[in-house]
Amino acid sequence: MRPLIGVTTSSRSGWRIFPLVAFNLWLAGGRGVRWVAGKPSDVSGVNGIIIGGGDDISPDLYGGKLIASSRLDAERDAMERRLVEEAMEQGKPVLGICRGSQMLNVALGGRLDQDAYGTYSASQRYWTILPRKTIEIVPATRLAAHAGTEPMKVNALHSQAVTTTGQGLRVAARDTGGMIQAIERTEDPFALGVQWHPEHLFYARRQRAIFHALVNAARASARAEAQLPKVDIGAPQTP
């Protein structure tokens, strides 16, 4: 079975990114459906979700300050926050990519650093889809179980980062300057947020492992859901 994964994208650039994410999902044994703000997006109709990259998240959602240079999408913010909340309620796994990692954190009550490289001046500042930034994975995390604990080279297309983790989340990776680069839930349902873009690094085994982790969790969720007893609320009840 190829689990169905809902993938959120920007309404502007998603047409370019979604095929790449869908390709990674297919390699991992899943299949994707694209979701954009203003169109139907139903968590109950999929086995897992990916919150994709894109514009900054509105600071209104976590008590930050509006920066004049920020490019915001309030409609997408609302959709993705709802999707994360519903996925947690329904036990569906979530993978957050870049902006998506930040949204996962914000939806669960966390905060963001709007000037992450200003705070972490020792962090390597790159703006590239090539794997140039070095990150260090925290041992004994879910990310470590799937991708190992050796230092990892990743790409970077962000200026903000997680600063305070949301409820049930922990730090899974930092860069060499201390900036948070991955977060994850400590309990089921599976939820992992990575600050980089693994979809561009499909040639790397450890990056493919991230999509495999999501697809495997989605498959397990689908099997568990299929085993739930069906209740006909219209049928007469036996005393």
| Helix, strand or coil, per DSSP, at residue 192 | strand
Q: Residue type for 36, please? A: V
The gap from C-alpha 37 to its chain's centroid, in whole angstroms, comes to 17
Cα angle vertex 97, ends 126, 171, to 5°?
85
Backbone angles phi, psi at 197, to 5 degrees: -120, 85
Query: In 3D, which of 57, 62, 87, 59 has the Cα closest to residue 73?
Result: 57
The conformation of residue 36, written as its DSSP 8-state character, comes to: -
Helical spans, DSSP H, in the chain: 14-27, 74-90, 99-107, 116-119, 142-147, 205-226
- Using CB atoms within 10 Å of the CB of residue 234, give its burial: 0 to 12 exposed, 13 to 18 middle, 19+ buried: exposed
Q: What pLDDT is attached to residue 8?
A: 97
**What is the residue whose two structure tokens read 């309030």?**
74
Q: How far is CA 181 from CA 82, 97, 109, 117, in A?
A: 23, 10, 18, 12
Q: With the C-alpha atoms ordered 38, 48, 102, 205, is the resulting torsion angle positive or negative?
A: negative
Q: Is 98 a catalytic residue?
A: yes
pLDDT given for residue 44 in this prediction: 96
Find tokens 């999509």 and name the residue: 211
Q: Which residue among the candidates 98, 146, 158, 184 is catalytic per the annotation?
A: 98
The pair phi, psi for residue 43, each rounded to 5°, is -60, -35
Distances (CA, A) of 83 to 14, 40, 130, 207: 17, 11, 30, 24
Q: Summarize pLDDT for 76-86 with one digit per residue, the tens.
A: 999 999 999 99
Grouping H, G, I as helix, E, B as strand and the rest as coil, residue 22 is helix
Q: Which of 146, 158, 197, 200 is catalytic?
A: 197
Tokens of 93: 């796994």
**Per-residue confidence (pLDDT) for residue 238, from 0 to 100:** 43
Summarize pLDDT for 183-228 with one digit per residue, the tens. Answer: 999 999 999 999 999 999 999 999 999 999 999 999 999 998 888 6
Q: Specify the pLDDT at position 58.
A: 84
Of the candidates 83, 22, 79, 23, the one whose C-alpha atom is nearest the C-alpha of residue 55 is 79
Name the burial class of residue 102, with classes exposed (0-12), middle (13-18) and buried (19+) by CB atoms within 10 angstroms of its CB. Answer: buried
pLDDT per residue of the chain (239 residues) written in tens, 0 to 9 = 899 999 999 888 778 899 999 999 999 999 999 999 999 999 999 999 999 998 889 888 887 766 544 567 889 999 999 999 999 999 999 999 999 999 999 999 999 998 999 999 999 999 999 999 999 999 999 999 999 999 999 999 999 999 999 999 999 999 999 999 999 999 999 999 999 999 999 999 999 999 999 999 999 999 988 886 655 545 444 43
Domains of the chain: 4-226 (3.40.50.880)
Instruction: Please tell me which residue in 80, 146, 158, 199 is annotated as part of the active site.
Output: 199
Q: What is the pTM of this model?
A: 0.92
